[in-house]
Amino acid sequence: MLAEQRQAIADLLRQALSPIRAAPDPVELQRPKLPEHGDLSSPVALGLARELGQPARQIAEQIAARLRELPAARDLLAAVEVAGPGFINLRLNAAAKQAVAHAVLRQASRFGRGAEGEGRRVVVEFVSANPTGPLHVGHARQAALGDALANLLAARGWQVSREFYYNDAGAQIDRLATSVQARARELLGEPIDPDLIGYLGEYIVEIARAFLAGATVQARDGAAVQASGDPADLQSVRAFAVAYLRNEQDLDLETLGLRFDHFYLESSLYSDGRVEATVRALAEAGLTYESEGALWLRTTAIEGSGDDKDRVMRKADGTYTYFVPDVAYHVTKLQRGYARAINIQGYDHQSEAVRVRAALPVVGPPMGLKVPPDYPEYMLHKMVRVIRGGQEVKMSKRAGEFVSLRDLVDWAGRDATRFFLVSRKADTEFAFDVDLALSHSEDNPVYYVQYAHARICSVLAQATEQGTALDESTALQVDLAPLVSAREMAVLARLSDFPDLVREAAEVLAPHQVAFYLRELAAQLHGFYNAERILVEDRDLRAARLALLLAVRQVVRNGLDLIGVSAPERM
C-alpha cells in the first residue's frame, strides 16, 4: 500500500474516532495475514475498551459507522467491516489499488525508498577475511548479504559505509609467512619440515613462485611491494604474501561486483595505540588481573557478557587474544561518528558478539563515548554447502581446503551467485545447487525473476513494432480503470507491497525478504501473462495493461538492484 494512502486512512480513522475521544498517535494500522480480512486492519477499538467501559466490538461499530459517512473515505475505501472482538477491517476500492501503477511510474527508481535513516551514519562491516588465502563460499555469503543490506539501508535514508576489516596481525600471519617460506625453499630443491606448512593449497605455491621471481604487487594504497626473492628474508616473505593475497581477495570481490568504502587494518590498532588504550580502560575499571604470566579480563563481572569464566586478554608471550583488538576496533567506529554499526559474520562468532557488546559500555565512557544499546548489531550467518553434479563439493585444487568464492562465480555466474546467497535467511543452513543455478526453469529463482523482466521487455518491443507502445511518461496519462480482473488486481497488490517490504527488510536486517518478494512478484506476472492477452484490440485495455507491465518492470529492476543482480532484457 502506498504511504500516502496509509496516511490518508489513518487520518480518516482519527476523524471517525474524534467524537468518542482523541485518537492515539499514531493510529495503529496492520496488514492482515489473510487477504479475506481486507487490505488493512486497525485494532484501535481494542485498546479503548477498558478506558471507555464498553465492549471493543461496540466501539468498533461506532467508529466504522462514522468512517462510512466521511466523503473522503469513499475515494479510498470499498468496504469498512468489523470482525472478531473488535477489529476494523478496511478494503481499498479499485481506483485506490490501481493508483500504485502510476505511483511506480512517477517515482521510478525511487519507488520503495524512504527516509527513516534521516541521513544518519551506519557502517556495515562484512567479509573481513584474514589475508591468508582466497575468499571461500562463507565469505561469498557474507558479501552478498552485506552488500544487499547496505543497499537496503541506503534506500531507507541511511548514509552507509561499507567496511572490510583485515585481520593482518597475529599468529595466522606468522603461519602464512612460514608456509610461503617453506614452499619457496621446496621450489629451490631444499628439504623442508612439512609441519611448517600451515596453509595448504596451490595458491601458497603460486605466492612462493612469485616471491622467488622478485615480483612486485601493487597495494591498494598505491604503494608497490616487491619481493626480495630471498626465502631467508622472512619479513619480506610476510609483507609480499599479505600484499599478494590482499590483491587476490580484491580480484575475488570484483568477480562478485563488490566495492568497499573503507579497508581497516587490525595492525593499525596496535601501531596507533588503540589496543593499549582499550586495555588501560578495562584495567581502570577494575576488570583485569594477572595470573600465570597472562593478563586476564574478569568477563564474569561484566553484565551481559554471557561468560561463566574469565578470559585471557594478553597471553604469556605478550600477544593479545582476538577479543581486545575487536573491542578497540569498535571503539573506532564510535569515534568515527557511526550511529549504528552492523557486523555480518559467521555463526561461530556468536559468543564474541556478546562479549564485544558487553565490553563497549565499560570502555566507551572513559574515552568520552556514549555507547548506544545493542552496539554493534550482528547478522550471523551459517555456512554454505556447494552441490554440483548431485555431489557435495568439498574443496578446490587452488584453495586447498575449501570451495572459493571465485570457483562459485565461475561455475554459476555473478547474478545466480548473488541471488542464491541472499535468498535464504542468514541463520539457516544453505545448500547452493550449481546445476539449479544454471537451469532455465521456474525452479531456478533468479532465472524465473529475470525472465519476468525479459518477458515484459519482449512484450513492449512487440508493442513498438505494432505502433502501440507506451513509455513511462505517456503511461502516466493512461486510465487504469480497465484493470479489474483478479490477476490484474493481484499484480497491483504485490506492487503496492514493495515499499513496506523494503522498509521492513532494512529494519530487521533481512535482505532475503527482497528475494522472496521478487519471486512472488514474478509468479504474479507470469500468471497474468499466461492468462490474459496484453496487446488486445481494445485500445483502453491494451494501454492499461502496458502501463501495468511498465510498472512491474520498474519494481523488478528496483528489487534486483537492491540485491546486486542485473535485469536483462533478453534471456
Q: Domain residues of the chain, as ranges?
A: 3-92, 99-111+442-562, 121-166+263-381
Angle between helices 539-562 and 512-531 (to 10 degrees): 160
CATH topology of domain 121-166+263-381: Rossmann fold (3.40.50)
Residue 16 has pLDDT above 70, yes or no: yes
Structure-block grid coordinates of residue 47: 485498546
In terms of Cβ atoms closer than 10 Å to its own Cβ (0-12, 13-18, 19+), residue 174 is: middle
Q: What is the mean pLDDT of residues 29-47?
A: 91
- For residues 391, 394, 398, 404, the Cα torsion angle rounded to the nearest 10 degrees is 90
CATH fold of the domain at 99-111+442-562: Isoleucyl-tRNA Synthetase; Domain 1 (1.10.730)
> Of 10-24, 79-93, 153-167, 277-291, which gets the smallest average pLDDT?
10-24
Neighbours of 323 (CB within 10 A): 19
CA–CA separation, 243 vs 223, rounded Å?
10
Q: What is the arithmetic mean of pLDDT over 156-174?
A: 92
The helix-helix angle for 350-363 and 323-335 (nearest 10°) equals 60
Q: How far apart are CA 506 and CA 340, in angstroms?
A: 13
Taking residues 487-509, report their average pLDDT: 97
Give the C-alpha separation, 491 to 503, whole Å.
20
Share of the chain above pLDDT 90, in %: 80
Asked if the model's pLDDT at residue 401 lies above 80, the reply is no
Choose which CATH entry (3.30.1360.70, 1.20.1740.10, 3.40.50.920, 3.30.365.10) describes domain 3-92: 3.30.1360.70
- In this prediction, residue 396 has a pLDDT band, given cuts at 50, 70 and 90, of low
Task: Work out the average pLDDT over 27-54.
Answer: 90
Tell me the average pLDDT of the chain.
93
CA torsion 492-495-500-502 (nearest 10°) is 170
| 448 pLDDT more than 60 | yes
Residue of 436, 442, 400 whose CA lies nearest to 417:
436
The owner of cell 496509509 is 6
Average pLDDT over residues 350-372: 91
The backbone torsions φ and ψ at residue 297, rounded to the nearest 5 degrees and listed phi first, read -110, 130
CA–CA distance, 356 with 397 (Å, rounded to integer): 37
Residue, of 222 and 54, whose pLDDT is higher:
54
Cα–Cα nearest to 31, from 494, 428, 446, 430: 494
Q: Which whole number is the average pLDDT over 428-432?
A: 93
Give the confidence band of 183 by pLDDT, cuts at 50, 70, 90: very high
Q: Are 135 and 247 in contact (CB under 8 A)?
A: no
